[in-house]
């Protein structure tokens, strides 16, 4: 019983620490529009990879991922579609993707199957290495 209460308090403290404000400034809304938003159909036609970034606007590691998401979208045009979703705005998405940590990156192939997942901040060089290896495996020479 005491363990359950302790676990509940820890989860609550983590949620409070990441912030739960759904208020967005105009600049934040504009930057999200550049990255994209989640839709019912998670597979974006014509792309080899759909990169789902599942986090929150107020989460510090999630904020650190924003420039990386923009860079990936710019460096892999027509190949990787980057989609961000704020889990505070729609908690069901977090449940759907079994998110345990914010941010969580989920990578889907062109058929919508998950082929890779990472939890927490994902350094750009490591993310690019994973993507390059996956894309190379699609076209073996």
For each of the chain's 141 residues, which pLDDT tens digit applies? 554 554 444 444 444 344 433 333 344 334 443 344 444 445 556 789 999 999 999 999 999 999 999 999 999 999 999 999 999 998 899 999 999 999 999 999 999 999 999 999 999 999 999 999 999 999 876
For residue 56, give the 3-state DSSP assignment.
coil
* Cα–Cα–Cα angle for 14, 18, 24, rounded to 5 degrees: 150
What is the model's pTM?
A: 0.70
The reported pLDDT for the residue numbered 2 is 53
> Starting at the edge strand that comes first in sequence, how are the strands of the sheet with 49-55 ordered?
80-86, 49-55, 104-108, 114-119
Which residue ranges make up each domain of the chain? 23-138
Instruction: Name the CATH superfamily for 23-138.
Output: Glutaredoxin (3.40.30.10)
Distance CA 89, CA 102 (A): 14
Helices 60-75 + 26-35 axis angle, to 10: 40
Cα separations (Å) of 96 from 8, 33, 77, 104?
21, 23, 27, 13
Distance CA 37, CA 77 (A): 17
To which H or E segment does residue 62 belong?
helix 60-75
């Amino acid at each position: 019983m005491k363990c359950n209460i302790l676990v509940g308090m820890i989860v609550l403290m983590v949620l409070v620490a990441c912030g739960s404000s759904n208020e967005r400034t105009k600049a934040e809304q504009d930057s999200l529009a550049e990255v994209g938003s989640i839709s019912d159909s998670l597979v974006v036609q014509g792309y080899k990879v759909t990169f789902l970034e599942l986090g929150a606007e107020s989460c510090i590691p999630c904020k650190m991922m924003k420039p990386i998401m923009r860079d990936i979208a710019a460096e892999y045009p027509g190949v990787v579609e980057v989609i961000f979703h704020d889990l505070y705005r729609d908690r069901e998405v977090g449940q759907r993707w079994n998110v345990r940590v914010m941010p969580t990156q989920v990578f889907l192939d062109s058929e919508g199957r998950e082929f890779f997942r990472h939890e927490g901040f994902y350094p750009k060089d490591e993310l690019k290495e994973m993507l390059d290896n996956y894309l190379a495996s699609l076209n073996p020479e």
